[in-house]
Amino acid sequence: MGTPPAFPLPRTCPFAPPPDYARLRDGQPAFQVRLPTGALAWVVSRYADVRALLADPQVSADARHPSFPAMGVGERETAARNRPFIRTDPPDHTRIRRMLQAEFTARRVRDMVPGLTAFAESLVDEMIATGPPVDLVSVFANRMSTATVLNLMGVPTDNLEFFRDVTRISGGRGSTAEEAQAALGNMFRMFNELIDRRLTEPGEDLLSRLVVNHLATGAVNRQELMSTIGITIVAGRETTTSMIALGTAVLLENPDLVTALRADPALLGPTVEELLRLLSVADSIPLRVATADLDVGGVRVPAGDGLILLLAGANHDPGVFPDPERFDPHRTNRHHVAFGFGIHQCIGASLARAELEISYEVLLRRLPDLRLVVPVAELELRNDSATFGVEAMPVAW
Ligand code: HEM
């Protein structure tokens, strides 16, 4: 094998995985790449392999492994130090995830729908009051996703940009360990004060329940609680922001579907699933390490090596999703892995689906002439962050 190619590979079209993924998938089931940190890791891009490895107990998500394949030095060191539960293994992972599980049930999410809809409507009211053009990313998508997760947690929503910056710096591939830890430190200081207040004056929010039922009983310590709140906010906002913005762009490029959606709201659910598959914005979030020698489709991955399980690769495997680059809400196979698979599968998936359905529905209903101001090919793509997205998306109506 020659020199390992550099990874991550950039996307050139916002609606499709990096073009090289198809070549990787057709060439070898597992392929060694060089990360920006200088480390080597294996990328896996076939659907069956990605799913099997996500469910394999011989594959660890623990960021403390020396070859954990973080894309940036900052991300690697802060993940190993703060141990957000997305980057841990059982039994720690099981203990923390159980504590949150009851808060993310389909029923809880259903109860949130009226509030989420009213909030989306209020954002569109503001867009209308400002007048076109507006940047859909900052004015709608970022606020919708960030305020939702902060409200759920019981964290004040008066500075949404602060959380956008923390996510950017802590997950940014170019951030140093000091920069990433300083950004997270600012957020943890805020949580520390909120926790102190909840210990004496608990309210009705998720943070209060975590403090009363889990911190005060000793089931988790303060550091674990802070990194759990932090990762839930970070994981919940950037992904959903990207999906709201890019999903809207895909819809606007498919006017026949928009007409069909307006006539038949039942199409909204399948449309959201297809957008999740097509865009696969959390493509390279599942980072792992082999804890035993593995056979990935005939390729030997030695114990101790880093693994990147490409969700966009899996979701565009033509053997599973024929003509994968085509946007087709009528596909019969809905078993995409946009939310991952196995024990770390996204805990916020039901909430994310609700946010997406509500966002698309409200935008299309309230702004019948919604359109992109610049052609899709001219959107500035964000390839340097854990979640793929666009920097800005000016729209008019
Ligand atoms: C469309 C939006 C979203 C996408 C595409 C997405 C994607 C993902 C993926 C792929 C994983 C698994 C990562 C891995 O296996 O290493 C994950 C985990 C996670 N997500 Fe999401 N997510 C979204 C929205 C949300 C929301 C709204 C929340 C919370 C409010 C959330 C909270 C989490 C948490 C806490 C984890 C870690 C779960 C664990 O390790 O057990 N996500 N997400």
State the closest ligand 1 atom to the C-alpha of 88, by its place in the atom list counted from 1. Answer: 40
- With cut-offs at 50, 70 and 90, classify the pLDDT of residue 335: very high
Residue nearest to atom 19 of ligand 1 (CA): 346
Q: For residue 217, is it within any domain?
A: yes
The whole-angstrom separation of Cα 311 and Cα 314 is 5
Instruction: Report the separation in Å between the CA atom of 87 and the middle of ligand 1, taken as the mean of its atom positions.
Output: 12
The whole-angstrom separation of Cα 244 and Cα 351 is 13
Q: ∠ CA 354-356-360 to the nearest 5 degrees?
A: 120
Number of domains in the chain: 1
Residue nearest to atom 24 of ligand 1 (CA): 236
As a whole number, mean pLDDT of residues 180-189 equals 89
Residue nearest to atom 11 of ligand 1 (CA): 346
- Phi (first) and psi of residue 101, to 5 degrees: -50, -45
Q: Does position 73 have pLDDT exceeding 70, yes or no?
A: yes
Q: Does position 76 have pLDDT exceeding 90, yes or no?
A: no
As a whole number, mean pLDDT of residues 321-344 equals 95
Q: Does position 47 have pLDDT exceeding 60, yes or no?
A: yes
- With cut-offs at 50, 70 and 90, classify the pLDDT of residue 8: very high
First to last CA, the chain: 53
204 secondary structure, DSSP code: S
State the closest ligand 1 atom to the C-alpha of 97, by its place in the atom list counted from 1. Answer: 41
Q: Is 85 in the pocket of ligand 1 (CB under 6 A)?
A: yes
Q: For residue 397, is it within any domain?
A: no
Instruction: Report the separation in Å between the CA atom of 346 and the middle of ligand 1, taken as the mean of its atom positions.
Output: 4
Q: For residue 140, is it within any domain?
A: yes
- Contact, 20 vs 45, CB < 8 A? no
Q: For residue 348, is it within any domain?
A: yes
- With cut-offs at 50, 70 and 90, classify the pLDDT of residue 1: low
Q: What CATH number corresponds to the domain at position 194?
A: 1.10.630.10
Q: Is 354 in the pocket of ligand 1 (CB under 6 A)?
A: no
pLDDT digits (tens, 9 = 90+) for 267-313: 999 999 999 999 999 999 999 999 999 999 999 999 999 999 999 99
What number of other Cβ atoms are within 10 A of residue 334's Cβ?
12
State the closest ligand 1 atom to the C-alpha of 54, by its place in the atom list counted from 1. Answer: 15
Instruction: Report the separation in Å between the CA atom of 192 and the middle of ligand 1, taken as the mean of its atom positions.
Output: 23
Could you tell me where the DSSP H helices lie in the chain?
20-27, 47-54, 73-82, 92-101, 106-130, 136, 142-153, 160-171, 177-200, 206-210, 222-252, 255-263, 268-279, 311-315, 349-366
Q: What is the token pair recorded at 201? A: 């004056």
**Helix-, strand-, coil-residue percentages of the chain, each rounded to 5:** 55, 10, 35
Q: ∠ CA 141-142-144 to the nearest 5 degrees?
A: 65
For residue 209, the enclosing domain spans 77-82+89-283+329-392
Question: Helix axis angle, 73-82 relative to 222-252, nearest 10°?
Answer: 140
Instruction: Report the separation in Å between the CA atom of 340 and the middle of ligand 1, taken as the mean of its atom positions.
Output: 8
With tokens 């609700």, the residue in question is 354
Q: For residue 159, is it within any domain?
A: yes
Q: Is 275 in the pocket of ligand 1 (CB under 6 A)?
A: no
The whole-angstrom separation of Cα 360 and Cα 247 is 8
Q: For residue 120, is it within any domain?
A: yes
The whole-angstrom separation of Cα 388 and Cα 175 is 17
State the closest ligand 1 atom to the C-alpha of 311, by its place in the atom list counted from 1. Answer: 10
Q: Is 346 in the pocket of ligand 1 (CB under 6 A)?
A: yes
Q: Is 289 in the pocket of ligand 1 (CB under 6 A)?
A: no
Average per-residue pLDDT for the chain? 93
- With cut-offs at 50, 70 and 90, classify the pLDDT of residue 97: very high
Residue nearest to atom 40 of ligand 1 (CA): 86
Q: 67: closest CA among 41, 44, 33? A: 41
Q: Is 234 in the pocket of ligand 1 (CB under 6 A)?
A: no
Q: Does position 133 have pLDDT exceeding 80, yes or no?
A: yes
Q: Is 340 in the pocket of ligand 1 (CB under 6 A)?
A: yes
pLDDT digits (tens, 9 = 90+) for 300-310: 999 999 999 99
Q: Does position 155 have pLDDT exceeding 70, yes or no?
A: yes
More confident residue, 394 or 184: 394
Instruction: Report the separation in Å between the CA atom of 145 and the middle of ligand 1, taken as the mean of its atom positions.
Output: 13
Q: For residue 127, is it within any domain?
A: yes
Instruction: Report the separation in Å between the CA atom of 236 and the middle of ligand 1, taken as the mean of its atom positions.
Output: 6
